[in-house]
A and B are shown apart, each in its own frame.
Chain A
Amino acid sequence: MRIILAAAAVVMLAALAFAAPWLQFVLTLAIAKGFAALGVAVLLRAGLISIGHAMFFAASAYGAAFLARAGINDLGLLLILSVLVSALIGAIAGSFLVRYRAIFFAMLNLAVSMVFYALCAKLYGVTGGTDGLPVPIPAVFGTVFAEPVFKSILFYLSLTLMVLVGLAVHRYLDSPLGHALSAVHSNEIRLEYLGIPVWAVLLIAYTISAALAGLGGAIAGFAIGRVVPDFAFWTASGHLVLIAVLGGIGGVPGAFIGALFLELLHSAAVTVTDAWNLFVGITLIVVIMFMPQGIYGLFERKEAQSS
């Protein structure tokens, strides 16, 4: 039942973008942010709230821009390399960050990401300052396509990746390593007594979450064609946590549902008013107060009733 629902949703997205090409950009961006929010959701499972994951999002987009400047011009290679860059940064930052809990974890992630943001904004010679860097259109299997064609390819690639990576993350969260995360949340000392190194469990989760944020960042960079320091600003990190919680951290689809909901709300709201964050803020508060399972929780509960 759940698989059919998920498959139907993916087919619907593909059809939607085919029927309304102007939606393609919005949907690509939504999937990109969904990846990053999924990364945040992985850590939320362990009770760790990171207000700094936009850093990995931005780092990977900057990575793609630098690599493209260095002469690498293949979409697949650029994606893989920039995700590896953010995973590497995640492993390094995570190695000391996962020692902290609760509010200290949140604050340290914020501090690291704001140092990164300030450096990106100020080192004009390297990062182009607040103007950012262009992310040129790369070749796909040796062929350089026109911009509209490339954007379509990027969208369908993101959709495919969403399914594949989503399944992989689902598999990871269902493995002993993934279940250890919720154990960290409920009682980490018992976990240590069982002989499971909490530090390693969290470091792996942190690296995976950084890689996911990086994948989202690289896709966003290609979709927008430019990377700016604001990618890494703390409000962007806040939005990622917001998306994860809005969708529901219970499962993989939650992050993508949250991102789609937010991006569609955004494109609908900007036609009416500038103040779309007002609606987002109200939605967030309402969801947290009255739907602690997130939007995805609605589907979950229905399923529990019907089975």
Chain B
Amino acid sequence: MSNAIIPLLLDSLASAALIFFAAVGLTLVFSVLRVLNVAHGSLYSIGGYVAASVCLFIASRQLNPYLSFVALLFSAVFVAAILGPLIERSLVRWTYGKSEAVQILITFGLFLILEDLQRLVFGVQSLYEDSPMRLLGTSSIGGVVYLNYQILLVAMAVLVVVGLRLLINHTRLGRLITAVVTDREMAQSIGIDTNRIFILAFSLGVFLAALGGALATPTSGIAPGLGADTMVLAFAVAAIGGLGQIEGAAVASLIVGFARVLAIYLVPSLDAVAPYAAMLAVLLIRPYGLFGSVTARRI
């Protein structure tokens, strides 16, 4: 029996880590900016494309293969540093305080633009470069052979949860962000530069999305359409955890990852249904998500 449970648990954990990376940026951006970014999935896939291109370049020049780990991280920083401020300043800023319909449509327009731009820049063929994964090799846990890269993914996800918690609770920037989240007008009136906070928070969200894409490419490669698939998955996880809840997103990723792996083991044809079914079940009972707070009914 344990022969079946250990791989199931490990697979769920690794799957949850990847799902978490897709969702955490979305939920972070929502909590600070109050904007649901429908283009989040595209930022994830752009991160993946940039990372895969750089890794392929490293492999083709036969540089030190360990450089590809640096490349994964730096492509995410690169994407965030360029696209984060650009998108926030040009489009997202315009939607603050507007209705959800406007926010969803503006970011949906951005999603369409980014999807086609990726097609133009990176082409329509899929990219696959797994050198970072092969480099780390395998290890054996309880007699089960396992990829070290997937353990790295889980460790990275834990690192992000702890890092974000530390950032928000124990740094000056975190306190400023909390102030803006709690009461935007009051924060502004005591002299907090909310524009700067918005740029930083949005860019951090882009960084997390791009990092998720970069970390996912060695395991599954990247192809057109990934952005759209990731978007709904991120949406499902963020909604289950409660929009704006970082720990909620972590727990939701575990639930969705487990549901998905369980479905693959039991009813393989239903693995794609599992995340959405979980989302539907949770939202019908608690529409504000597992960890979300009740918002007052609009008068």
Spell out A's residues near B (CB within 8 Å): 44, 47, 49, 51, 96, 100-104, 106-108, 110-112, 114-115, 118-119, 121-124, 187-189, 233-235, 238, 241-242, 245, 274-278, 280-282, 284-285, 288-289
Measured in the bound complex, the distance between the Cα atoms of B102 and A285 in whole Å is 10
**Is there an interface contact between B112 and A280, defined as CB atoms closer than 8 Å?**
yes
Some 23 contacts from A to B, beta carbons below 8 A apart, are A47-B99, A49-B100, A51-B104, A101-B297, A102-B100, A102-B298, A103-B36, A114-B279, A115-B280, A118-B273, A122-B270, A122-B272, A122-B273, A123-B269, A245-B105, A276-B116, A277-B112, A278-B113, A278-B120, A281-B109, A281-B116, A284-B106, A285-B106
Residues of B175-223 at the interface with A, using a CB-CB cut-off of 8 Å, are: none
Residues of B8-56 at the interface with A, using a CB-CB cut-off of 8 Å, are: 36, 38
Contact with A along B92-128 (1 / 0, CB 8 A): 0010000111101110111111011101100000000
Known: A101-B298, A111-B283. A121 touches B272 (CB 8 A): yes
Which chain B positions have C-beta within 8 A of A51? 104
Residues of B145-167 at the interface with A, using a CB-CB cut-off of 8 Å, are: none
Measured in the bound complex, the distance between the Cα atoms of B95 and A77 in whole Å is 46
Identify which of A44, A110, A124, A277 contacts B116 (C-beta below 8 A): A277
Which chain B positions have C-beta within 8 A of A107? 235, 239, 279, 283
Interface residue B284 (Cβ < 8 Å from any Cβ of A): yes
Identify which of B228, B243, B287 contacts A233 (C-beta below 8 A): B228
Instruction: Given contact pairs A115-B273, A233-B228, enumerate 7 new A-B contacts (beta carbons under 8 Å).
Output: A103-B243, A111-B280, A278-B112, A278-B120, A284-B106, A288-B105, A288-B109
Which chain B positions have C-beta within 8 A of A106? 100, 104
Identify which of B110, B117, B269, B280 contacts A285 (C-beta below 8 A): B110
Interface residue B277 (Cβ < 8 Å from any Cβ of A): yes
The 8 A-B pairs with the shortest beta carbon distances in the complex, nearest first, are A281-B112, A281-B113, A284-B109, A278-B116, A275-B116, A114-B276, A118-B273, A285-B109
The interface size of chain B toward A, counting residues with CB under 8 Å, comes to: 44
Measured in the bound complex, the distance between the Cα atoms of B280 and A250 in whole Å is 32
Identify which of B94, B110, B112, B235 contacts A289 (C-beta below 8 A): B94
Interface residue B141 (Cβ < 8 Å from any Cβ of A): no
Measured in the bound complex, the distance between the Cα atoms of B267 and A116 in whole Å is 17
Measured in the bound complex, the distance between the Cα atoms of B106 and A49 in whole Å is 13
Measured in the bound complex, the distance between the Cα atoms of B232 and A189 in whole Å is 33
Identify which of B91, B102, B277, B287 contacts A104 (C-beta below 8 A): B287
When C-beta atoms are compared, the residue in chain B nearest to A282 turns out to be B113
Known: A49-B104, A107-B239, A284-B112. A234 touches B288 (CB 8 A): no
Which chain B positions have C-beta within 8 A of A101? 297-298
Which chain A positions have C-beta within 8 A of B94? 289
Measured in the bound complex, the distance between the Cα atoms of B279 and A112 in whole Å is 9
Interface residue B71 (Cβ < 8 Å from any Cβ of A): no
